[in-house]
Amino acid sequence: MPDKSSAMVHTQYLPFLSLSWEAGGYSWGSAILAFLYREMCKAAKMSSVDGRALNADIGGCMVLLQSWAWYRLPFLAPICPAPSEFPLATRWRQRKDRALDHKVTLAVRMLIDMCCESEFIWRPYLHEDVFGLIPERAYEDAENWCSIMPLIHFALVEMFYGNRVLRQFGFHQPVPAAPRNMDELEQIDTRGKTEKNWPLTHWIGMQFETIDQAKSAIKLYNIRKSVHSKVTRSTSEKYVCECTQRKEQGCNWKVRVSKKKRKQNIWELSVYNGPHTCCAVGHRQDHPNLDSTIISQTVQPIVQASPKVTVSTLMAHVKSVYQYEPEYKKTWRAKDKALKKLHGDWDASYNELPGWINIMQKYNPGTIAVLETKPYYKNDRVVADVRQFHRHVLLLAVIQDGNRKTIPVAFALVPREDTDSCKFFLQNLRKHFFRHNTVCLISDRGSGFLSAIESLGSRFCSPKVEHRYCLRHIAANYHGRYKKDYERKLILRMGMFHSSS
Ligand SMILES: [Zn+2]
């Protein structure tokens, strides 16, 4: 964190280096970023008179900024004989500067202005030269990369908007919400306030858009510190938490968040009595604050990348992040919550069905869709414009072509596999698909299907429709009862044998 001289460092850091085992626990990365962001803010200020930069110099960790730029804008980077290494910024230790004089701002500006989109490397960390270099430990706490959080450096507070740089980590980049207005915090003047406890000052007034965000922040704080708290008040206006060791160990830790009507109903931390003076409880048992909501937030990026990830893998991930091992059931619920957050509620997803069918019909002409829904009642009254589906079972019809390849031709979502549902499916199949042709239906001998064929009478009888049973199901049923795999295989061979009579 050098100042503008790029060689001097403020003495304010010295007290933090005195206890070496504690020094490693501070978030130095956050401090470096906060300082750099603020220096970049200052450097970007232009004079309103002549449009020139007000500050000619910039302080902060320039190696970081330079490395960031050179990996993304390779045409600005010096020519370098060495391949990439880790940490990535060390690559340019033995650099050979390009003919381009880096002191000439104009030349650099011109190169950036002339750069076309394909010259900008959007995903440098996924590049083949770089990807293999990044060690496993760099991925610890990877969920923080995508989060939104304040970075605090004494009086400085700068927001980290991880949600705005998802593309560089290989994720899909949606349009993010507008950033928070930080004007008030930028006005803070540190002169004459050497004794001020800045972390505490910043805690009071910390804002949350919803009460759920505030609750999550308090829970995460307690999990990270291995301490327990209890909710002592929870209303639509206030939320208060206290340490569980208030009586036993005299720990006065307490936080209160209140809803601020004047500030667009934002929730603000109005009381903070801290830090905890009680003894941490250790990591032996599960933490009560590590609930399915917190776990689902933690595992969401993993579930998004691979929805089929096992619950035990997620449990191991949570253990590596928080050092607590959550129960299987709780983690299962958390995965379910994460899936719902990513893909919407299963039931609500049926709302997308009409639109989806429209698109299918538009782009696959000849697609036939038949929707049978029930009216929706609320307090014994029919709600207009709302229709209701049942919970569903998928019925699927496939055919085999001349090359013995199976092709799905129709599917239906029905309440259950009973006579009525099978009748609905078969009648529509006849009406829209095989019409007057002679067909052979192969089924699994399901009772609903058999009684549906029976009730459909002559239209589903020989010689128009032949009905056969699926050999694979017969063999599977046989195996289910007699458990003899050799005989199951004999049945399959017997069934596939061509008879000439
Ligand atoms: Zn405590």
Instruction: Return the domain boundaries, the chain.
Output: 11-139, 292-343, 353-486
Q: What is the pLDDT of residues 248-279, one digit of tens each?
A: 888 999 999 999 888 788 899 989 887 888 88
- Between the CA of 196 and the centroid of ligand 1 the distance, in Å, is 23
Measured in angstroms, how far is the CA atom of residue 220 from the centroid of ligand 1? 14
Q: Per-residue pLDDT averaged across 69-91, rounded? A: 84
Taking the C-alpha atoms of residue 204 and residue 216, their distance in angstroms, rounded to an integer, is 17
Q: Residue 53: what pLDDT?
A: 76
Q: Taking a C-beta distance cutoff of 8 angstroms, is the pair 295, 216 a contact?
A: no
pLDDT at residue 501 is higher than 60: no
**Could you tell me how many residues make up the chain?**
501
- What's the gap in Å between 282 CA and the centre of ligand 1? 13
In the predicted structure, residue 46 carries a pLDDT above the cut 90: no
Of 275, 294, 278, 276, give the one whose Cα is nearest residue 286: 294
Q: Could you read off the pLDDT of 475-497 as tens digits, one per residue?
A: 988 898 988 889 998 988 888 88
Asked whether the beta carbons of 459 and 430 are under 8 A apart, the reply is yes
Distance 316 CA to ligand 1 centre (A): 28
Give the mean model confidence (pLDDT) for residues 293-312: 90
CA of 246 to the centre of ligand 1 (A): 7
Res 103: pLDDT = 62
Is residue 266 within 8 Å of residue 201, measured between CB atoms? Answer: no
Residue 226 CA to ligand 1 centre (angstroms):
10
User: Which two tokens mark 474?
Assistant: 């017969």
CA of 289 to the centre of ligand 1 (A): 14
15-30 residue pLDDT tens: 777 766 667 777 888 8
Residue 383 CB coordination number (10 Å): 12
Distance from residue 258's CA to the centre of ligand 1 (Å): 21
pLDDT at 72: 92
Residue 282 has pLDDT above 70, yes or no: no
Mean pLDDT, rounded, for 91-118: 77
Q: Quick one: pLDDT band at residue 68, thresholds 50, 70, 90?
A: very high
* Highest-scoring range by mean pLDDT, 102-106, 168-172, 294-298: 294-298
What pLDDT score was predicted for residue 237? 93
What distance in angstroms lies between residue 187's CA and the mean position of ligand 1's atoms? 34
Q: Strands 465-469, 439-443: parallel, antiparallel or unpaired by DSSP?
A: parallel
Task: Mean pLDDT check: name the lowest of 47-56, 348-357, 359-368, 446-455.
Answer: 47-56
Going from the Cα of 315 to the center of ligand 1, the distance in angstroms, rounded, reads 27
Going through 74-210 in order, the beta strands assigned E by DSSP cover: 148-153, 156-161, 207-208
- Peptide bond between residue 124 and the one before it cis (omega within 30 degrees of 0): no
CA of 11 to the centre of ligand 1 (A): 32
pTM as predicted: 0.53
Measured distance CA(498)–CA(354) in Å, rounded: 46
pLDDT at 314 (0 to 100): 94
- Taking the C-alpha atoms of residue 255 and residue 233, their distance in angstroms, rounded to an integer, is 11
Single-letter residue type at 297: Q
Residue 310: the pLDDT is 94
Give the distance (Å) from ligand 1 centre to CA of residue 254: 9
Q: How far is the CA of 251 from the centre of ligand 1 (A)?
A: 5
Among 65, 62, 76, 69, residue whose Cα is nearest residue 110: 76
Structure tokens at 449: 């299907």
Distance, CA 145 to ligand 1 centroid (Å)? 29
DSSP H helices in 115-261: 128-131, 183-186, 198-203, 211-225
Query: What CA–CA distance (Å, rounded) separates 421 from 419?
Result: 6
On the question of a cis peptide bond just before residue 463, with omega within 30 degrees of 0, the verdict is yes
295: nearest Cα among 263, 261, 337: 337
pLDDT band at 383 (very low <50, low <70, confident <90, very high): confident
As to burial, measured by CB atoms within 10 angstroms (0-12 exposed, 13-18 middle, 19+ buried), residue 69 is middle
Alpha-helical (H) ranges within 209-327 are 211-225, 292-305, 311-322
Q: Give the model's pLDDT for residue 145.
A: 83
Query: Is the confidence at residue 333, as pLDDT, over 80?
Result: yes
Q: How far is the CA of 222 from the centre of ligand 1 (A)?
A: 9
Ligand 1 midpoint to CA 276 (Å)? 4
Q: What is the mean pLDDT of the chain?
A: 84
How much is the average pLDDT of 379-396? 79
Taking the centre of ligand 1 as the mean of its atom positions, its distance from the CA of residue 256, in whole angstroms, is 15
Centre of ligand 1 to C-alpha 55, Å, is 46
